[in-house]
């Protein structure tokens, strides 16, 4: 049986967060779990949301003030937009710790777990260099901002 049980969220970029949220709420009855504006890298304000689209899967859009290099309005495959990373979902802390151990052993992660309150995750890079996360929902309803997050370093 695979360790992962499905996708947790997909992170992507948008130029218009309000339009993006409205579309998914109106078309898919999505539930916006949070819509935050907070200090980001380089002193810019970073706006991002988590939009529950059902089945335990969410979209995590970031509003980008400048093009990322992929937005040209094309409908051609490979030129439709930029996806930042994929997060795979695990059921519980035991599975998160098992995947964490495997990622560290493979040299794909330093094993640090980041706790955002409602979500705990470990990041990795796949063999092609794509960023990934393995995440699990917690019982907390509070989402911690980037400055409030807690990190558990790999000590093994």
Query: Does residue 25 lie within any of the structural domains?
Result: yes
Query: Does residue 92 lie within any of the structural domains?
Result: yes
Query: Does residue 56 lie within any of the structural domains?
Result: yes
**Residue 137: CATH number of its domain:** 3.10.180.10
pLDDT at 155 over 80: no
Query: Does residue 74 lie within any of the structural domains?
Result: no
Query: Does residue 76 lie within any of the structural domains?
Result: no
Range of the domain at 60: 6-69+81-152
Residue scoring higher pLDDT (130 or 48): 48
Query: How distant, in Å, are the alpha carbons of 21, 63, 65 from that of 14?
Result: 10, 5, 9
Q: How many domains does the chain have?
A: 1
Nearest CA-CA partner of 32 in 7, 53, 8, 55: 53
Dump pLDDT digits (tens) for 51-93.
998 888 898 988 887 766 655 555 555 555 667 787 888 889 9
Query: Does residue 1 lie within any of the structural domains?
Result: no
Q: Kindly list the strands in the beta sheet with 119-125, ordered across the sheet, starting from the edge strand earlier in the chain.
A: 31-39, 45-54, 57-63, 6-14, 83-89, 131-137, 119-125, 113-115, 150-152
Query: Does residue 75 lie within any of the structural domains?
Result: no
Query: Does residue 115 lie within any of the structural domains?
Result: yes
pLDDT at 145 over 90: no
pTM of this structure: 0.65
């Amino acid at each position: 049986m695979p360790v992962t049980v499905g996708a947790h969220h997909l992170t992507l970029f948008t130029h218009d967060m309000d339009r993006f949220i409205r579309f998914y709420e109106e078309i898919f009855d999505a539930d916006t779990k949070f819509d935050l504006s907070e200090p980001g890298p380089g002193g810019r304000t970073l706006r991002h949301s988590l939009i529950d689209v059902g089945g335990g899967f969410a979209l995590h859009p970031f509003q980008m003030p400048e093009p990322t290099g992929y937005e040209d309005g094309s409908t051609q495959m490979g030129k439709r937009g930029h996806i930042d990373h994929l997060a795979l979902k695990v059921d519980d802390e035991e599975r998160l710790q098992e995947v964490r151990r495997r990622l560290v052993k493979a040299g794909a992660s330093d094993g640090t777990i980041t706790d955002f309150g409602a979500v705990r995750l470990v990041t990795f890079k796949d063999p092609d260099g794509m960023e990934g996360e393995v995440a699990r929902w917690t019982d907390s309803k509070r989402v911690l901002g980037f400055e409030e997050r807690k990190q558990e370093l790999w000590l093994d």
